[in-house]
Structure formats: C-alpha cells, structure tokens
Amino acid sequence: MVKFIIKRILAMIPQLFILSLLVFMLTKAMPGDPISASFLNNPNLDPEVIEELKEKHGLNDPWYVQYTNWIKRLLQGDLGVSYVHKVKISKLLGERFANTVVLGAATLIISYLIAIPLGIIAGRYQDSLADKLIVGYNYFSYAVPLFVFALLMLFIFGFRLGWFPTSGSVDPQVTKGTLEYYLSRLHHLILPATTAALLSTVGTIQYLRSEIIDTKYQDFVKTARAKGTPEKYVYNRHILRNSLLPIAAFLGTDIVSILGGSIFIEQIFGYPGIGQLFISSILQRDYSVVVVLVMLSGFLAILGTLLSDIIMSIVDPRIRIEE
Amino acid sequence: MSQKPLLQINHLKTSFRIGDEYYAAVDDVSLTVNENEVVAIVGESGCGKSALALSIMKLHQPENTKIEGEIIFNGTNLVPLTIEEMNKFRGKEIGMVFQDPMTALNPLMRVGQQIEEGMKNHLKLSKEEMKKRAIDLLDKVGIPNPERTYYRYPHELSGGMRQRVVIAIAIACEPKLLIADEPTTALDVTIQAQILDLLKDMQKEMQTGIILITHDLGVVAEMADKVAVMYAGEIVEFADVETLFTNPLHPYTRSLFNSLPSAEHVQDRLHVIQGMVPSLKNLPRKGCRFADRIPWVDRSAHEENPEMREVEKGHWVRCTCWQHFDFPDEAEVKSYAIT
Amino acid sequence: MPLLKVENLKVYYPIRSGFFRLVRDYVKAVDGISFEIKEGETYGLVGESGCGKTTTGRTIIGLNKATDGHVYLNTNGDQVDLVKLSRKEFRKYRQDIQMIFQDPYSSLNIKKRVRDIIAEPLRNFEKLTPEEEEQRVIDALEKVGLGPDSMYKYPHQFSGGQRQRIGIARALVINPKLIIADEPVSALDVSVQAQVLNFMKDIQKEFNLSYLFISHDLGVVRHMCDRIGIMYKGRLVEEGTAEDIFENPQHLYTKRLLSAIPNINPKKRYENQRLREQINREFVEKSREFFDEEGRIYDLKPISSTHSVAIP
C-alpha cells in the first residue's frame, strides 16, 4: 500500500511538469501583462518606464528563460511574488486556502448529510410520493443555475431576513482565537456552504437511488432474505453497503471539485478564498498567481484520483492494490 | 422411508403484475413433499418452476405478486404470513440454494459472516460457537482449509467453492426442507457432479426434504425420488423417478426426452417440439395447454378442463391426450411446421 | 488436404508487474495444440471453463493473436498460414471462416433490423448494390427457415431459437467454408436446442460446411461431432472419433469428464457416484502417469489410426 502510494506520487511528477509547461505558455499567450495592466488607468506614465519595469522583472526574456527561472524558484519552495499585491504568493494563498478548504469541507458534509438519506429513501421506496418529490428536487437543483440560486439565497436569508452576514469569512471586530471568533466564522460559513450543498446533491442522490434500485434485485439480497434476515438488516448490511461503493469512489474527485466549485460561491458571497483570488488574478493579469493556482488545482485533481483509488481499495475487497 | 408430509402445496396460484393485469405464472399447482424426500420440478424456462420455488419462500417483490392457495409447512399455512412471521421459517425451517454462485453471495462480506448471518437470525449462540459451527459447515461441504476460507471474500473462491458456501449457508440452521433452484446450472460438469454428490450426501445425513428445480433431466435422474414435470404454469405429470424415466406418458414429457441429445446412444435427428413456449401474457388459460404444440393430435383427444389423474399407483398425468399421442413421422411434422 | 490445420498453436498472455511493467510470466491459455478439420466434418473441442477452447476458436478467426504456431487454411488448393498474415491480408480469408456465438440475446445488436444484422458481413467483404444485397439476405434467411418478412423486424421480436438462427444466417450469408460455433446452444432450452442442432446438421449437409464445435456439453458434442479433442489446461489430452472418446476413453481427465455427466438412468445413480469417487481418487493417485514433473500434459501419441492420447 505504502509502496503503491509512493509510486503514484512519483508518477505525478511528469504529469505536473507537463501541466506547468502548458499553463505557463497559456498565460504568456494571453494578451497584456501585469505591469501594463496595473498602470492601465494612468495614461501619464511614460511607456519607457513601463518597458524598464518589464525588463527588470524579466518579462522581456524569451518564455523558456522565464519558465526555467520560475521552475528553479518553485523547486526551492518559492512560489513567487504577486505583481499586483506585491506580496509573496505563499502569504497571499495561506489564509484564503484555509478558508476555501473549510468552505469546501462544510459544503461536502452538508451535501452528503442531505443526499445520502434522500437517496436511500428514493431508492428504497421507489415510485412512492417521497421518491417523486426527491426526484423533483433533483431536477430542480440540476436545472437552476448556481448564481441565480445563490443570489436568491443571499437576498432572502442575508438581506431580507438578516439571519446571516452577506460577505466576509469572519467578523473583523472579534479577536482571533476566542470562542466568539469561531462562532463568527461558523455564522459566515452556513449560508454559502448550504447554498452550494443544496445544488451539489444531485449527483449523489441520483447515483445512490439507482444503485439501491439495482442492488435491491441482486441475488445476494435474495440469499440474505432466504436466511430470514429482517428487512432492516437486509437494507443496512447488504443493500446499502453495496450501493455506497460508487459514492465512496466519488469522494476523491469531490474533494477536488471544492476548488472549482468555490469560484462562483466565493464571488457571490464575498467570501475571501481561492476562487475569489483566481478571478481577480485573471482580471488583473496577475500571471504568477494564476499559474500557481492552476498548478494547485492540477495537483489536487491528481491527488483526488489517487485518493479515490485508495478509498475504493479500502471499502471494496475486490479491488486490491498491487504492490 | 418416512412418508410424513413436510410440505403440502394446495391449489397454489402465483400471479405477477404486468401493467395493470395479473397473470398466473404458477396456476393451480398441488404438490406434496414428504420428509426426507427429494422432489424434482423439471421444465423449460418460463414454465413457472422458479416462481413456484420463490413462492414457497415468499421471495417475490410483494408489490407485484399475488399468491393464492395454500402452502402448508409442518402444519402452518405460509401464504397469509407477514414478512416478519415468514422470517421465522426462512433459513431456519426452509433453506434455499440459488442458481448462480457468482451473484448469490454478498461481495463485501467475508464468507464466515455470511454463514453466521442465518445463525444470528435464528439460534442463540455465542460468537465463538457460531464461528466454530461455520467452520464445521465449511468442512462439511468439502471446502479445503475451512479456517482460512472463513475469512475469505467470495471473489477469492472459484465457482464450485462458492456454490459450496451457498449450500453451507442454506444448511446452517439444519432446515427440514431445502429448496435448490438450478443449483448446478452455472457450473462445469465435473463441478456439477461434485455438488450433486454433496447434496445427496447432505440429504442422507441430515434427512432433509429437498425440492430440486431444474431443466436438466440428467440431474433429475441423479438426484430425485419423485418428479413433477411443469409446462406453462401447470404440473402435467408426476411420478416417482424410475416410473417417469421408464414410462413417461404425457406428450410434453415424452417430447422432452426425445429432444435430448445423449452421450450414450447416437441418433441422427432430435425431436423438435413444434412452436414455442408461450409467454406469460399469452399462456393458454383454457383446455390442454400443450395442445397447440402437438397439432397432429385430434382436438377431441384433449379434455375441456384437463385434470391430473392417477393412471397407475403414484403416477399422475394431466389431460387425456396422452392416450392418443404418438410421434408423427418427419414428413408429417414438416407439414405442421411453424417457424 | 484438410480444410483447416492447426499446428502447435500457442496463445500466451503476459503477466506484467513492477514499475516498468516488465513481463514476469505468462498465462498459457493455449499451450501448443494441433488438430485438423476436414471438409464437411464437425470437430468438437471439449473442455471445462478456462481450458482454452474458446481462446482457440477466437485465435483461429483472428480475434486473438497467436503467440506461436500455425493455422493453415486451405483455399482453392493453396495453404495459407493465417497466423502470419497482416490484419489487412487476413480480411481476404475472413469470409471463409465465420463464427456463431453462445448467447443469441447479446450477440445480436438489438437496435438493428435483421436485414442490417445479416448484411453486415456482406458490407464488410463484398461490394453489392442494395438489390443484390437484399437478395442475399433473403437467401440467407431462407436457408435458416425464416421468411423474407423477418427482414424488417428487430431481434427482440424473435424467440431464442429463432435468434440463434439469425446468428447462423449472418454467418452463412457470405458462404463460409468453416463455421466456428462457440457454445451455440448452451443458452437455449432443450426443445429449442434440438431445433438448432438439427438445423445445423441440415445446412452442413446442404452446403458441405465444416464446424469447429466448441462446447462443454458432452451429450451435445456426441450428437454433433465426428471427431473430438478434449482440452484441459490449454492442451489436448485426447483426440479421436466420437466413438473412440466415448466408448474407449484413455486419458484420466477424459474419464473424469465422462463420469461427471449425469446419467439419464436413475437406477444407475449410486453406481455412477461410486465410479466418480473412484476416478477422482485415481486422478490424485495416478497423476504422475498423465502429467510430467511440471504438471504439464504430455504430447499426444497415437494409439490407433484415429485415436491419440497424451501419455509419456
């Protein structure tokens, strides 16, 4: 198992290398550069000064020189400096990354808390009224665009009812480390996390429902009933465990989608995380940050599939990791 | 041999819902299984033999199935029982062996757990007692190295070994009746022979009654004491095994024997039964159900409401058409050919 | 000259492992088998699941790649080694060999009409006008006893036996010389099985077809085959006429296989069971006489003009 994980991580290196090359070249192919972008609204500035600054930051070097320089620094643990924010990217990322992870984890947990019971009910009592309502909710959450729903939630629970704050990740007036601070964070988290969760249940519910319907008619369930096993155990021990397998397999990729999914939610709820940073960095041509963020999501994607494989090998005895 | 009836099926009718209508897959079947007796139910796919087996255990989807008539097991009629009441019989009094050992076991549970589940449901045993008993059972069904197999998952075993596990599960609580639904159909011949021999030995040792569902007349000859031949939801012939194999009477039984290629004697052509098995929706509900498939036999040879009659001691045949039935020569068959 | 001559055919699958996926060992699915099929003859390849019989059939028709050996096909007096041909060259000869599969339910594309199913090999191998194609399809359907109105139906509108006949019509439409039938009746009921078997015999006589009949059912094999090869662990353990094999089996494995067939005579059941027990004991005790030190089956040695057995 350990050997397998090490092997897979080693195999990640060339993948990440190709990804970095690709991302780097793409950002270079984008029109504009951070220096010009930051002085865009200042027509008085001498173009020669801009040229000088570009030269100083190495932006006029051929791309492969820029790339090798960047990789060298990256390998030393230096993610580089944001042109726009003028701070080290590692510092810029730090807190935002933590915010996004917390938001993503909360979303995932709430999503499972809603989806698993609903999927079970829909699958077990197939074609009942409850099943029809759940399938209806599924269609709804699938069809409604995230930003419309998020704005609606923000309007109702944030502005009209005033139950939850409408932006930020914590009340700036509370002191860090106190109970109050954590409660405030939780308070800020509930609305964006619930909103995202309500719309992300669709896959899990649908999958679980059809898995349960499928498993219900399997021969081994007949075997279990033929032993005189009470229905409660037939469902818990036999049907459910087998139906949850694919859900467990998705967990790895779900974790990765935290990053992607956060972009809209963070933007709408003014939640300072990676997603928000990503959008502003693109708009401001802050290449160094964009590249690092894309690399990060690529890394997580590869990690996610590895995680899925490991989870599968734990929950399903038929899948064994070799060496 | 003891002649105490263990299971008495009276006028059983099992119907399945298709759309809004119910169609009887098992139609007015009566059958007795005595203690310590192997009764084979033989027929082709769609004849209702599996539906009959599942009816006894009430393993059909309740929302789409209607069971009428009586299934009396040791004095209790199982038909009106709720699932909870039924669970006292399932696994305890009646065990079941399924056709496909590849799908009959839960892939996520260890073999030992799956054997113990039935004991947990019915017997008050400690953990250690259950484990010991499970290992004993694995040993009894001929699994080498039972202590290790106890911890194995189904996918780690071959098809034959899995079928042995399925049998171990079925006999875990020493049921009085075993229902084996095509227990060897999915297996290779040499494995089939081993499993049949095992079932025979178990039956002798534990004095179990067995209902053996099969399409294979060879398996019937190897295993059964008595045989019921089913066609289109009905039993058309019932006799002890030697009578049925030496003196089959119903046209369907005789046709089946004649269409069987044999490894013992070579014939050039096999008999082909005309037409095809009607689907559940299109089963003939009136008159002799086999009449359409022997069109050369005069209509008047059949009864209007064919009944099972005892034509010699213990040998029952449905309809009167058997008295007028003979195989036509080939040219004649061709003129009736329906493709 | 035989129609098909298989010589020392081997199909190995590599087992790879380690970081560089190096080949560590081989699964010897087919491990050096030789046999011949004459024109108009039915050769039965018999064995239990995993013995390599299906792989052999699939390799002859080019669905699997042979590791070693030869498959000579006799086309108009020339012998062509199919193993040596490139994929493109092989296509020329593919129409001489067709295959029928086990499951008539899954081997036909349910979304296609019967006409298109049967015309598929024609479209692959011949260039015909739509009228010519239709005529060929009608002819093929007629050969299998189905009317031209079946052309525009879909597979689900037919019974199991009829579907298997559609599969046979598809194989027959380009006039093959050899049909490889892989468990053609295993999925069918006895009465339907009889229909398909009779029918296969009829068209064999009519078109002088040869069959490679792959099956595990010894009753069916006895009924159908002129000569039989018994396969075990990728090798042939015994070969001979149907009579040689069934009346005078020599190899321990053949005996074991034959004794396993349920006997249709209920009076003999205990006798059979004892015979099986005895043979199973022998199978353990005498294994040195039939398998070499590595557990490999010996090469076939002729014991009569028709009968060969794998003995040292």
ipTM of the complex: 0.88
Predicted model pTM: 0.83
- Please report which confidence band the pLDDT of residue C307 belongs to, taking 50, 70 and 90 as the band edges: very high
- Please report which confidence band the pLDDT of residue A73 belongs to, taking 50, 70 and 90 as the band edges: confident
Q: Is the pLDDT of residue B52 over 80?
A: yes
Burial class for B275, CB neighbours closer than 10 Å (0-12, 13-18, 19+): middle
Cα gap B62→A282, rounded to integer Å = 60
Unique residue bearing structure tokens 């039939």: C290
What DSSP element (H or E) covers C235? strand C235-241
The number of beta carbons lying within 10 Å of the beta carbon of residue B308 is 16
CB C11 within 8 A of CB C60: no
DSSP-derived 3-state class of residue B337? coil
Cα gap B13→B23, rounded to integer Å = 10
The pLDDT tens digits of the residues spanning B145-167 come to: 999 999 999 999 988 899 999 99
The pLDDT tens digits of the residues spanning A13-29 come to: 888 888 888 877 777 77
pLDDT at B170: 94
- Please report which confidence band the pLDDT of residue B338 belongs to, taking 50, 70 and 90 as the band edges: very low
Q: Is the pLDDT of residue B272 over 50?
A: yes
User: What are the tokens at A240?
Assistant: 């459910």
- Please report which confidence band the pLDDT of residue A94 belongs to, taking 50, 70 and 90 as the band edges: confident
B179, closest residue in chain A (CA to CA) = A226
Angstrom distances, CA of residue A78 to CA of A81, A88, A275: 9, 8, 21
Tell me the nearest-neighbour CA distance from B269 into chain C, angstroms: 6
Task: Residue A28: name the closest of A285, A294, A296 by CA.
Answer: A285
Cα gap A221→B105, rounded to integer Å = 8
C-alpha Rg value of chain C to the nearest Å = 21
Task: Residue B237: name the closest of B245, B228, B246 by CA.
Answer: B228
Q: Which residues of C touch B190 (CB under 8 A)?
A: 48, 256-257, 260
Q: What is the DSSP letter of B90?
A: B
The pLDDT tens digits of the residues spanning B233-244 come to: 999 999 999 999
Tell me whether residues A230 and B153 touch, CB distance under 8 A: no
- The 10 Å CB-count burial string (b at 16+, else e) for A212-236 is bbebbebbbbbbbbbbbbeeeebbe
Of residues A204 and B69, the one with the higher pLDDT is B69
What DSSP element (H or E) covers B69? strand B65-73
pLDDT at A188: 84
- Contacting residues for C63 by C-beta, under 8 A, at least 6 apart: none
The pLDDT tens digits of the residues spanning A242-283 come to: 998 888 878 777 777 766 667 788 888 888 888 888 888 888
In the predicted model, what is the mean pLDDT of residues A112-138?
91
- Contacting residues for C269 by C-beta, under 8 A, at least 6 apart: B221, B222, B223, C263
Task: Residue B176: name the closest of B79, B85, B91 by CA.
Answer: B91
Residues of C with CB under 8 A from a CB of A: 17-19
**pLDDT, chain A, mean:** 81
Tell me the nearest-neighbour CA distance from A313 into chain C, angstroms: 18
Q: Is the pLDDT of residue A322 over 60?
A: no
pLDDT at B177: 95
CB A123 within 8 A of CB A210: yes
Instruction: List the 16-75 stretch of C: residues with Cβ below 8 A of B.
Output: 48-49
Tell me the nearest-neighbour CA distance from B84 into chain C, angstroms: 37
Which residue type, as a one-letter code, is found at position A194?
T
In the predicted model, what is the mean pLDDT of residues B93-114?
92
Q: Is the pLDDT of residue C82 over 70?
A: yes
- Contacting residues for B213 by C-beta, under 8 A, at least 6 apart: B40, B41, B49, B50, B52, B53, B179, B180, B181, B182
Least confident of A107-111, B178-182, B277-281, C14-18: C14-18
pLDDT at A43: 62
Q: Is the pLDDT of residue B303 over 90?
A: no
Q: Is the pLDDT of residue A40 over 70?
A: no
- Contacting residues for B240 by C-beta, under 8 A, at least 6 apart: B225, B226, B227, B314, B315
C-alpha Rg value of chain A to the nearest Å = 24
pLDDT at A191: 87
Least confident of A113-122, C155-164, C207-216: C155-164
In the predicted model, what is the mean pLDDT of residues B35-41?
95
- Please report which confidence band the pLDDT of residue A30 belongs to, taking 50, 70 and 90 as the band edges: low
Tell me the nearest-neighbour CA distance from A20 into chain C, angstroms: 24
In the predicted model, what is the mean pLDDT of residues A1-11?
77
What is the SS3 string spanning B175-205? CCEEEEECCCCCCCHHHHHHHHHHHHHHHHH
Of residues A297 and B174, the one with the higher pLDDT is B174
Strand order in the sheet with C78-81: C22-37, C4-17, C68-75, C78-81
Strands C227-232 and C42-46: parallel
Could you tell me if A14 lies within 8 Å of chain C, comparing CB atoms?
no
C270, closest residue in chain B (CA to CA) = B222
- Please work out, in degrees rounded to the nearest 5, the angle formed at the alpha carbon of residue B275 by the alpha carbons of B273 and B279: 115
Angstrom distances, CA of residue B214 to CA of A321, B156, B219, B281, C310: 40, 27, 7, 23, 36
- Please report which confidence band the pLDDT of residue A34 belongs to, taking 50, 70 and 90 as the band edges: low
The pLDDT tens digits of the residues spanning B163-204 come to: 999 999 999 999 999 999 999 888 888 889 989 998 999 899
Cα gap C101→C214, rounded to integer Å = 10
Q: Which residues of A touch C17 (CB under 8 A)?
A: 322-323
Could you tell me if A226 lies within 8 Å of chain B, comparing CB atoms?
yes
pLDDT at B181: 93
Tell me the nearest-neighbour CA distance from A133 into chain B, angstroms: 20
Q: Is the pLDDT of residue A323 over 50?
A: no
Task: Residue B154: name the closest of B168, B174, B140 by CA.
Answer: B168
Chains touching chain A through at least 3 C-beta pairs below 8 angstroms are B, C
Q: Which residues of C touch B217 (CB under 8 A)?
A: 190, 264
Of residues B220 and C288, the one with the higher pLDDT is B220
pLDDT at C221: 93
pLDDT at C59: 93
CB B187 within 8 A of CB B159: yes
Q: What is the DSSP letter of A160?
A: I
Tell me whether residues A228 and B122 touch, CB distance under 8 A: yes
The pLDDT tens digits of the residues spanning A201-215 come to: 888 898 899 999 999
Q: Is the pLDDT of residue C195 over 50?
A: yes
Tell me whether residues C17 and A322 touch, CB distance under 8 A: yes
B190, closest residue in chain C (CA to CA) = C260
